[in-house]
Amino acid sequence: MAQDASVLAGLLARRVKRAEMHIATAESCTGGMIASALTDIQGASRWFSQGWVTYSNESKVKQLGIDEGIFAVDEGYAGAVSPEVAEAMAIGAAKKSGADLTIAVTGIAGPTGSTESKEVGLVWVAVSLNGEVTSKCAEFGHGDRHSNKEAFTTFALRVALEIWGVHYDQENGKDESTDEDDSTTPTSVPAALNVLSAGPQTGDWHGDVAWSEGDDGPEPESSEEPAIPDSDITWNEEEEF
């Protein structure tokens, strides 16, 4: 797992644990990488409920309770890699698990699977937080299948952190710097992550990610919360998809 994903998972785990909430995941193209990054953290059983890898359309219907009509090929058909399916996955995971925060992802990791309108490297992420669902997309496409899966995982965790900041931290006026175990460390999300919140709820992200080797990210119990690595990522303005 890329170091970025480990760090982001730690940051998200810290927030969820402090809020006494629970997380669940519903993954397609990432094949369980998001759940793996989260459960690599010691003590995850206190805040991670469960995860699904629903790779086929049939499994999405059976395991997450998605209406099979969403996959019907007719006029207006969006396809499995779409905001509609990502959002339905997040909602289904929330209903099935009872988790407060769910992360769902569907995309095209490659090297095959592209269509005339959807290229390899396209991913849609949906996050449900306390019943409110937000979806965002990104396009990578510059790496092999495994690199794209890692990029999708990192992007999904970034989106979850951004949604948390917008819909939970701000609404509740939460100041994590006052927590007993972290009384001197500010924990605001760096500017690179906040760029995501500048656009509409459903939007695009385009960028190149240079993956680096390294040790696993810090445990969420650490007294010092690291900055999110962002020096190797180019952020562009959101465009309509």
Closest CA to 96 of 142, 54, 135: 54
pTM score of the predicted model: 0.72
What pLDDT score does 171 carry?
54
Q: What is the pLDDT of residue 118?
A: 79
What pLDDT is attached to residue 170? 60
Q: What is the DSSP string of 216-238?
A: PPPPTT-SSPPPPP-TT------
Alpha-carbon gap, residue 87 to 103, rounded angstroms: 9
Give the pLDDT score at 115.
65
- pLDDT per residue as tens, the chain (241 positions): 566 999 999 999 999 999 999 999 999 999 999 999 999 999 999 999 999 999 999 999 999 999 988 888 775 567 889 999 999 999 999 999 999 999 999 999 987 766 656 788 999 999 999 999 999 999 997 778 999 999 999 999 999 999 999 976 665 554 444 343 332 222 333 333 333 333 333 444 433 333 333 334 444 444 455 554 443 433 333 333 3
SS3 of the chain: helix, strand, coil, percent, to 5: 40, 15, 45
199: which 2 tokens?
């656009």
Amino acid at 69: G
- State which amino acid sits at residue 174: K
CA angle 130, 159, 89 (to 5 degrees): 55
Amino acid at 205: W
Q: Tell me what pLDDT residue 210 has.
A: 33
Are the C-beta atoms of residues 155 and 9 closer than 8 Å to each other? no
Topology given in CATH for the domain delimited by 3-206: Maf protein (3.90.950)
Provide the pLDDT for residue 71: 87
How far out from the chain centre does Cα 207 lie? 16
* Exposed / middle / buried, residue 234 (Cβ in 10 Å: 0-12, 13-18, 19+): exposed
Using DSSP, state whether 32 is helix, strand or coil. coil
Report pLDDT for 113: 63
Per-domain boundaries in the chain: 3-206
pLDDT for the residue 5: 95
Q: Is 106 exposed, middle or buried (0-12, 13-18, 19+ CB in 10 A)?
A: buried
Measure the CA–CA gap between 34 and 86, rounded to whole angstroms: 15
